């Protein structure tokens, strides 16, 4: 009888030890998985921000709320890139020479064939050539897949929520805002449900978005991410 009791006690101890281990390691494993997933989601949000900023540069400061439009822009649009050779010396700058004036002299010489003024100003090695390069080749690494930009990593095919807003400052100047975001339950799906609920409750109490977000249509924040 004593042997049976001892076996039962050992079994109980083992079960309790397993439960304690799980209660300790569960949150640790969740946090590790959360960080790994958030790293991928943040990288994707940064890709979206890069595209929106370039889109804004080409569209009078406005953003787009459409992933179709944004992805097409990234895949097809070309932007100006100025290849520079040579710099103006301090002496040239002090004499009032600017890059604009320098290029005007050079362009005039190209038309007339008279390079005396260019030589006089010491601009023979000065060049500014504008080339048109694709957005994708300029702001993204080789192999970047633009079509993936809309999808939340680990989200099972779900897309980021994206919105834009037009507003005005107190002085009446136009201001354009955008945001892209995804809640915890999208990219943390499949992980411990109670831990996700705890994260959401904490964010709600702090008045923060329960997930990852870049930019904001409610408060201008210079397109910062809520992880920054």
Q: What are phi and psi of 227, to 5 degrees?
A: -95, -10
Residues of the chain with pLDDT > 90, as a percent, come to 58
pLDDT recorded at residue 4: 55
- Residue pLDDT, tens place only, 45-87: 999 999 999 999 999 999 999 999 999 999 998 888 778 888 8
- Give DSSP secondary structure letters for 185-202: HHHTTTS-HHHHHHHHHH
pLDDT recorded at residue 37: 97
Q: Report the alpha-carbon distance of residue 174 to residue 166 in Å, rounded.
A: 7
Look at 86-95, 123-132, 162-171 and tell me which has the smallest mean pLDDT: 123-132
Residue with tokens 């030890």: 17
* Mean pLDDT, rounded, for 111-116: 91
- Residue pLDDT, tens place only, 144-181: 999 999 999 999 999 999 999 998 878 888 899 999 99
Single pTM value for the model: 0.75
Q: How many CB atoms lie within 10 A of CB 76?
A: 11
């Amino acid at each position: 009888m004593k042997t049976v009791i001892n076996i039962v006690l050992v079994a109980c101890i083992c079960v309790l030890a397993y439960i304690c281990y799980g209660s300790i390691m569960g949150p640790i494993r969740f946090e590790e998985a959360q960080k790994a997933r958030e790293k991928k989601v943040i990288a994707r949000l940064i890709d979206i921000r890069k595209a929106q900023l370039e889109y804004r540069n080409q569209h009078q400061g406005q953003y787009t709320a459409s992933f179709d439009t944004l992805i097409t822009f990234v895949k097809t649009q070309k932007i100006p890139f100025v290849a520079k050779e040579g710099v103006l010396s301090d002496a040239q700058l002090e004499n009032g020479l600017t890059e604009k004036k320098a290029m005007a002299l050079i362009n005039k010489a190209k038309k007339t064939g008279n390079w005396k003024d260019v030589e006089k100003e010491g601009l023979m090695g000065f060049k500014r050539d504008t080339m048109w390069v694709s957005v994708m080749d300029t702001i993204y690494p080789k192999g970047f897949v633009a079509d993936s930009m809309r999808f939340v990593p680990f989200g099972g095919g779900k897309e980021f929520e994206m919105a834009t807003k037009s507003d005005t400052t107190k002085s009446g100047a136009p201001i354009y805002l955008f945001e892209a975001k995804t809640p915890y339950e999208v990219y943390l799906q499949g992980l411990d449900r109670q831990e996700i609920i705890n994260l959401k409750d904490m964010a709600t109490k702090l008045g923060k978005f329960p997930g990852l977000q870049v930019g904001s249509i409610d408060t201008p924040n210079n397109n910062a991410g809520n992880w920054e």
